[in-house]
Structure 1
């Protein structure tokens, strides 16, 4: 099984004569777009997705069930279909699109649109993974801290977050990969400026597989280290 999982990397290493430095100007801009847009999306997801994940982990009832269903819908919707639906909401002729355009924010084929697409790709994955991390934290520890005089906010930052850090690290790792690797939604509402997945698709159509190996290698280089580091760090953390 390990050999099977390693085969794609072997294909990259033995994929003919190519130079990692053979990146075109459009490839470089795609890298910048993905890194900047992905970092912005992950930051927003962590800030707003973490409270939502904690709410889902600690609340039971119809309202939380509806909230969880709303989190699941973007994840279960095919990416291309989701992109089309987002275009119908945030497009220039749509009410939401017109509203944002009036405040100088265009949400189709702009860097902001790239961040929006990455948010829809990464947020559900982060929230569900982070929720599982919070579920693993014993509620009794939080109750003890409350009886000692800590506020709910202090309990969250001093007790809950440290105990959930392994799972949250995994959630951030998956979020980073989804934000940088989202293709279907980005293809519909943020074709320009192209991120790395869209640029790879365009280059394959125009130049062939052999010509895109430098960008593929760069894509892996900027995508894999963060989740690998977070995952390995989580393994070293005390139980």
Structure 2
């Protein structure tokens, strides 16, 4: 779910960062970069303060039945905050490498702006976008600091590994590490092979 939201929100934002003129883009890029530059535990504390039960946003979500602390919804929120900037920055680079003139040619042939981007730019940027999605996938699955603060329960795989190491020791967590690697590695490898084959 997090990756679907990240792609739906992050791809238009990556297009904006790659294509829009003006100084406002610099501000938008700074906002996107900020979560990547902050220690994840500090970011988790800020998210907890912003979306926690006592915060105005937290109360607004609670009014519609969504609790954003130690719930699956909080886990989703933490994962999006962790992986969205990684996807946006990598996708922006992939989109920026496609010459804008190709979009212009598609528009002279009758496509609208977003039709040209969907039919021309995205296919030409597919390898970079596959890499962006792979990075976001690994970042989302591997996030520890934010989830430790915002969504300790239900525990994500990294938090569960940390808990098991504390309780059982290193030797006992090897089976869970194997499961973690089996969950993490196939998607990036598949995306990379698909992008190269297409």
The answer to whether TM tops 0.5 is yes
User: Aligned match of 1:174 in 135, 138, 141?
Assistant: 135
Give runs of aligned pairs for residues 38-53 of structure 1, distance below 5 A. 40-53=1-14
For 2:86, the equivalent position in structure 1 comes to: 125
Following TM superposition, by how much is the alpha carbon of 1:236 offset from its aligned partner in structure 2, in angstroms? 3.4
Give deviations 1:148-170, integer Å, cap 9, x for gaps. 12111210111111111111111
TM-score (norm 2): 0.98
Output the CA distance in 2 between the equivalents of 1:60 and 1:69: 15
Cα distance, 1:231 vs. partner? Answer: 1.8
Which residue among 94, 102, 108 is the counterpart of 2:63? 102
Once the two structures are superposed, the pairs formed by residues 37-76 of structure 1 within 5 Å of their partners are 40-76=1-37
Q: Distance in 1 between matches of 2:26 and 2:147?
A: 29
Q: Which runs of 5+ in 2 are unaligned?
A: none
Asked which structure has the greater CA Rg, the reply is 1
| Misfit runs of 4+, over 2 Å | 232-237
1:186 matched to 2:147? The reply is yes
The 1-side partners of 2:71 and 2:166 are apart by: 23
157, 161, 176: which one pairs with 2:122? Answer: 161
In the alignment, the residues of structure 2 paired with residue 172 and residue 212 of structure 1 have an alpha-carbon distance, to the nearest angstrom, of 28
Q: Which runs of 5+ in 1 are unaligned?
A: 1-39
The separation in 2 between residues aligned to 1:140 and 1:153, in whole angstroms, is 14
Structure 2 equivalent of residue 147 of structure 1? 108
Q: Distance in 2 between matches of 1:148 and 1:214?
A: 56
| TM alignment of 1:29-40, pairs within 5 A | 40=1
Q: Which has the higher contact order (CA 8 A, sep 6+)?
A: 1
Q: Given the two structures, how large is their TM-score scaled by the length of structure 1?
A: 0.81
Number of equivalences: 198
User: 1:89, 1:101 → 2: CA distance?
Assistant: 13
